[in-house]
Amino acid sequence: MGPAPVPRPPAPRPPKNTEKLDAASKLETLLMDADDLAASGKFTEAIEKLESFPQELRKYDVWSELGERDLKKYRALLPLQEEFESAVEEAKAGSTDALKALFRKVRGEDFEYPGEPFVAAFERRAREAVGEDAFDALLTELDDEAALASADEVDAFEEDADQNVKIEAPKAIEITTKGSPERRERFREAAQVALQNLEQAKKTLAERVAARRKRIKDEARRVLKAARKMKLSVDGWGTVRVTAYDESGFTIKGKKGTKTFGWGNCPPKLGHTLKKLAVDTKDAQAVYELGIYALKRGEFDLAQRDFEQALRLDASLKDRIPNVDGFRHLTKLFRGKTAKDDDFQVRWEFNSDRPQERLDFEPLAQQMKVEVVGGQLQISSPMGFFAVGAKVRGGWDGRVSIEAVLGTTSPAPAVVVQSRAGMFLVQFGQKTEVLDGFGPMAKSLASSEVRAAQGNAVKVWVERKGGDKGTVKVTVQGREALEHEIDLEGDIELMLGARGNGSVRFDNIHVVGRLSPKWERKAKAEGPNEISRQLAEMERQRQAAAGGVKVPIAYLKTSAEDEVGLRDATEEQKKLVEEGRAALAAGNMWAAFQKFEQAARDYRFEVGNYLYSLGLMRSDPQGAVIRLKRCVKGVEDFYEAQVALAQAQFQIGRIEEAEALLRKALELRADYAPAYQALSQIHTIRGEYQEAKKTLELAEVLGPGDPMTTALMDRVVALAEGPAWADRKRATTTHYVLDTDMVDYADRFVTQLESIRKAYERAYPALIDPDAPERKASVLIFGAAEGYYQYSERTSGDRAENTLGHFSPMTGQLLLFLEEDPDDWNSYHVIFHEGMHQWVHSNGLALPFWANEGMAEYVGGTRLSEDGSEIVQMGAIDSFLKQRLRSLTSGWSQRLTWRKIMSQSPQEFYAGNAPLKYAQAWTMIHFIMESGDEELKKTFDSYLRHFKEVDRDDKDAARGGAMLEYIYVDTFHQLDMADVTKRWERWVEKLCADAGLDWKLPAEEGGK
């Protein structure tokens, strides 16, 4: 039984009768005209345009689906236009109060249409009405007003003796601990019972270990005896002999020496052969699991034979047997039909029998959908998005073409061409044009009066012409529309979509081009991990159908859910918790997270905050720490919250604090399985993998079947096995242990890491914690992307495909890969960047996201001496940072105020245009560090010290929402931020000039 088929509701086909065609054509023109008017804030004219659509043609679906939709939207926005016109007239007469009120509304978090083009149009008209200086002053006043409003918890002043600066201390939230003598007595009795349960669990575990050792010993005897009679071979080794076997893997001996493999990184066929020798082939479950192993390793024929044998032994396994043929396509480069000559030609022929073809298209955002509907590719997005799109599978080297038939025309369909040099959009509608991006403020670079209608075939050719230049050529129905030169650097990627929200459809999509070898290697490495994910999803669906998914113990009813812990809780809060747990049991983690988030809005409801914090742990561990401290203080002996708090502290590098919390929790409830899961993570980050495995085995006895225990055990096994490297070298220094398969560069890499650590300390002395425990940091550098992706998947559950490297606080390891020339200094940006995150973590800090990423990007541009031992230059612009500048300048109108980007939570930072925010944060740090403004530099140092102190103190009010605002007000807000912002903008222009980019600050913002 394979993955559930994708639903395929029927799609409307192009109209066949003349009147219906006429209706679609007329409405298409009106929709485009109305959209242009609305983008300028002219909703009255947009409404009049749509209302001119003939009544007799409104009977067709195209009107109800598109015309009425837009008409409703414009009518809803009409009062805003009227309010704006009135505000502009008042501003011309000398009063800007109404204008302030309007922009306060459209820039607020609750505004329904953020990022819509009409907002920028309003800003342009307001500038014209009141003048540049007056309008900038108005916006600055609104920014300052928002900053002060957000910091409303600021109370008294207290002296910071170390820095001799005034810090506005936040008003503490009063938390009364809930408890009672009767409850304490119950907990003392429960603690004694838990100790007895723990002792019994240890005895059970000892019996299981003994039985397992005997089983493994018997298996090893059978395997070694049978293997001696077989001719076994391994690529590159020739004929080999198996010399050792256990539950972790096996050892072979051959002409190249001796090598030990784990079951996850061994040659697949050899692993399957030895496992088959070990199992009882008359045991249906054992044979079924052997088939699953073969399937995960991509040995489909072996898996098919195993599943057939398992079914013969036990017919009840039928519903659990995967459809092997349904998994084969996961290892193919493309799921659509393909042909290959000198170039690689890919054709997608959509039909109801091939739902997997949608996997060749990846939606640009989680909320967007890609579906095969009625034989067409449909891409859709909800309201609020300024674009809809999906990446077309493939990375192309030098040239590629894409051809498609347009299934819809509103919003105007588009083909997007992307490379390291930027993003260019070819848009089809009343005219065909090339724009310099996907955003609402993208500029037209070239246009043609050749228009494309529904059912028309369009084609886009892209070809590199030398250097970092290329051409894009466009035809419509075979008629040449335009040809234009664009910047082109690195692999070419394609997207399909549209500017604006809603849905867009394409049919008969053909892509022809020369595949990038780098992309091809990466794509081939994806298969095994995708198979594992599909199998996990099948198992989840099976469990749900059988009566529910196994919910982690940490999410079950807690000790705080008694008459004492819930005495202040409302019925609505308790209902939200109940609904969240029901969603978890149904396998809907996202719905559960939303319910828990609603339950956590009142800090006095500890259970809701605890459950919400469990889901917050990876994305915002600092936020989880704040909430969980309140939980621990709010309900006496809330040991579940103590364990969760320890896990959050662990995430930000406070290992010793986390361990102390766990010991305290175990004194209260010695048989609580999640506490042992957390202890295993501490063993893991210290590299104590055997201790971690033993601790998890105890957790499994105490809490059987907890999926968290299984996931952590898989991670520990993968870490203990290590990467599947044929050759490796370890290099060690004072602060680092580095492993790599690039053996000739190991010593250079580790020397560079020691040197760059000095750069971190030189640039950011405020972050150094002299009391931080000394631990050598673990670094793994891979010579190829696929090894990096596979190891990352096995050790963190994430292939990290959109990264060149990352630091994992769960494992303590810094993982990187270098496919570029290791002798080129541009290659080291990711090492220096991610190394910064590891260094910050070792000091027990979780910095604000803008600072965390901006600071890491700044040190990523460090130049070292040829031997890597000395710092030659800080803040240089490498090829990676050059691309950051392109991201910022191409979306310049979307840049944030300093206050806003400095105050964003992790979720807010990653929402919207995250690449632009990375770029803005880096240029802000570069300006602070390199502009020579010592007052600004001291202010930043003060900002970091304030954050560090507040982070360490127990000032929950400040840290729980107003922390970043309050620190901003106390530091940067004391400067003339309008002046700082203008000077930073000119600094960006200077950076572009230094990088050889032709970008000038717009004239209305101080440019020439």
Residue entry with tokens 């994992």:
808
pLDDT recorded at residue 423: 87
User: Given a cut of 90, is residue 596 above it in pLDDT?
Assistant: yes
Residue entry with tokens 């035809």:
475
Question: How far, in whole angstroms, is CA 523 from its chain's centroid?
Answer: 19
Q: pLDDT confidence of 809, banded at 50, 70, 90?
A: confident
pLDDT digits (tens, 9 = 90+) for 441-463: 678 999 999 999 999 999 999 99
Distances (CA, A) of 386 to 124, 380, 414, 502, 703: 19, 12, 14, 10, 47
pLDDT recorded at residue 344: 53
Q: pLDDT confidence of 549, banded at 50, 70, 90?
A: low
Averaged pLDDT, 271-275: 95
Q: Which of 498, 522, 546 is the last residue of a domain?
A: 522
pLDDT recorded at residue 862: 84
pLDDT recorded at residue 826: 66
Whether residue 22 lies inside any domain: the answer is: yes
**Using alpha carbons only, how large is the chain's radius of gyration in Å?**
31
Q: pLDDT confidence of 566, banded at 50, 70, 90?
A: very high
Whether residue 283 lies inside any domain: the answer is: no
- Do 767 and 650 belong to one domain? no
Give the whole-angstrom CA distance, residue 46 versus residue 40: 10
* Lowest mean per-residue pLDDT among 314-323, 570-579, 684-693, 872-881: 872-881
Q: pLDDT confidence of 218, banded at 50, 70, 90?
A: very high
Comparison of pLDDT for 644 and 795, the residue scoring more: 644
* Lowest mean per-residue pLDDT among 30-34, 52-56, 432-436, 607-611: 30-34
Closest CA to 519 of 641, 396, 434, 663: 396
- Do 735 and 881 belong to one domain? yes
- Do 602 and 690 belong to one domain? yes
For residue 560, give the CATH number of its domain.
Answer: 1.25.40.10
Q: Which of 721, 745, 773 is the last residue of a domain?
A: 721
Give the whole-angstrom CA distance, residue 494 versus residue 333: 16
pLDDT digits (tens, 9 = 90+) for 156-189: 222 232 333 343 444 556 778 999 999 999 999 9
Give the whole-angstrom CA distance, residue 89 versus residue 101: 14
Positive or negative, the Cα torsion across 931, 936, 939, 940?
negative
User: Given a cut of 50, is residue 675 above it in pLDDT?
Assistant: yes
Averaged pLDDT, 252-259: 89
Comparison of pLDDT for 158 and 82, the residue scoring more: 82
User: Given a cut of 90, is residue 476 above it in pLDDT?
Assistant: yes
Whether residue 944 lies inside any domain: the answer is: yes
Averaged pLDDT, 48-54: 84
Give the whole-angstrom CA distance, residue 132 versus residue 1007: 13
Neighbouring C-beta atoms of residue 231, cutoff 10 Å: 7
Range of the domain at 904: 729-1005
- Do 749 and 716 belong to one domain? no
pLDDT recorded at residue 531: 81
pLDDT recorded at residue 156: 27
- Which residues, in sequence order, are CB contacts of 656 under 8 Å at separation 6+? 773
DSSP 97-112: HHHHHHHHHHTSTT-S
- Do 568 and 667 belong to one domain? yes
* Lowest mean per-residue pLDDT among 143-157, 350-364, 456-470, 482-496: 143-157
User: Given a cut of 50, is residue 4 above it in pLDDT?
Assistant: no
Whether residue 2 lies inside any domain: the answer is: no
Q: How many domains is the chain partitioned into structurally?
A: 4
Tell me which range, 340-349, 361-370, 653-662, 944-953, is most confidently predicted by mean pLDDT. 653-662
Would you say 126 and 135 are in contact if contact means Cβ atoms under 8 Å apart? yes
For residue 832, give the CATH number of its domain.
Answer: 1.10.390
Closest CA to 513 of 475, 463, 459: 463
**% of the chain surpassing 90 pLDDT:** 38
- Do 658 and 544 belong to one domain? yes
pLDDT digits (tens, 9 = 90+) for 822-865: 766 667 888 888 889 888 888 877 788 899 899 999 988 888 87
Residue entry with tokens 């300028």:
40
Tell me phi and psi for residue 970, to 5 degrees. -80, -15
Give the whole-angstrom CA distance, residue 616 versus residue 624: 6
Comparison of pLDDT for 157 and 414, the residue scoring more: 414
Tell me which range, 574-578, 767-771, 788-792, is most confidently predicted by mean pLDDT. 574-578
Would you say 776 and 697 are in contact if contact means Cβ atoms under 8 Å apart? no
* Lowest mean per-residue pLDDT among 104-108, 227-231, 266-270, 403-407: 104-108
Tell me phi and psi for residue 261, to 5 degrees. -115, 150
Whether residue 171 lies inside any domain: the answer is: no
Whether residue 58 lies inside any domain: the answer is: yes
- Which residues, in sequence order, are CB contacts of 161 under 8 Å at separation 6+? none
* pTM (2 d.p.): 0.66
- Do 647 and 779 belong to one domain? no
pLDDT recorded at residue 820: 66
Q: pLDDT confidence of 1002, banded at 50, 70, 90?
A: confident
- Which residues, in sequence order, are CB contacts of 676 under 8 Å at separation 6+? 695, 696, 698, 699, 702
The two structure tokens encoding residue 935: 């007052």
Q: pLDDT confidence of 305, banded at 50, 70, 90?
A: very high
Q: Which of 522, 557, 578 is the last residue of a domain?
A: 522
pLDDT recorded at residue 949: 75
What 3-state DSSP class applies to 53?
coil
pLDDT recorded at residue 1005: 54
Comparison of pLDDT for 941 and 4, the residue scoring more: 941
Positive or negative, the Cα torsion across 601, 603, 608, 614?
positive
- Do 456 and 549 belong to one domain? no
Closest CA to 365 of 381, 376, 386, 384: 381
Give the whole-angstrom CA distance, residue 598 versus residue 318: 42
Comparison of pLDDT for 154 and 723, the residue scoring more: 723
pLDDT digits (tens, 9 = 90+) for 343-402: 555 565 555 456 677 778 888 876 788 888 878 889 998 766 778 999 998 899 888 999
pLDDT recorded at residue 798: 77
pLDDT recorded at residue 768: 86
Whether residue 250 lies inside any domain: the answer is: no
pLDDT recorded at residue 670: 97
* Lowest mean per-residue pLDDT among 13-22, 23-32, 658-667, 926-935: 13-22
Would you say 936 and 114 are in contact if contact means Cβ atoms under 8 Å apart? no
User: Given a cut of 50, is residue 13 above it in pLDDT?
Assistant: no
Encode 698-763 in three state secondary structure: HHHHHCCCCHHHHHHHHHHHHHHHCCCCCCCEEEECCCEEEEECCHHHHHHHHHHHHHHHHHHHHH
The two structure tokens encoding residue 824: 């080129």
Give the whole-angstrom CA distance, residue 559 versus residue 562: 7
pLDDT digits (tens, 9 = 90+) for 677-736: 999 999 998 889 999 999 999 999 999 999 999 999 989 988 988 887 767 899 999 999
Whether residue 831 lies inside any domain: the answer is: yes
User: Given a cut of 50, is residue 819 above it in pLDDT?
Assistant: yes
pLDDT recorded at residue 114: 62
pLDDT digits (tens, 9 = 90+) for 345-362: 556 555 545 667 777 888
Strand partners, 485: 471
Closest CA to 459 of 479, 435, 481, 476: 476
For residue 364, give the CATH number of its domain.
Answer: 2.60.120.560
User: Given a cut of 80, is residue 896 above it in pLDDT?
Assistant: yes
pLDDT recorded at residue 15: 36
- Do 495 and 613 belong to one domain? no
pLDDT recorded at residue 46: 81
Computed over every residue of the chain, the mean pLDDT equals 83
Comparison of pLDDT for 345 and 872, the residue scoring more: 872
- Do 578 and 474 belong to one domain? no
pLDDT recorded at residue 169: 44
- Do 714 and 618 belong to one domain? yes
pLDDT recorded at residue 141: 66
- Do 716 and 836 belong to one domain? no
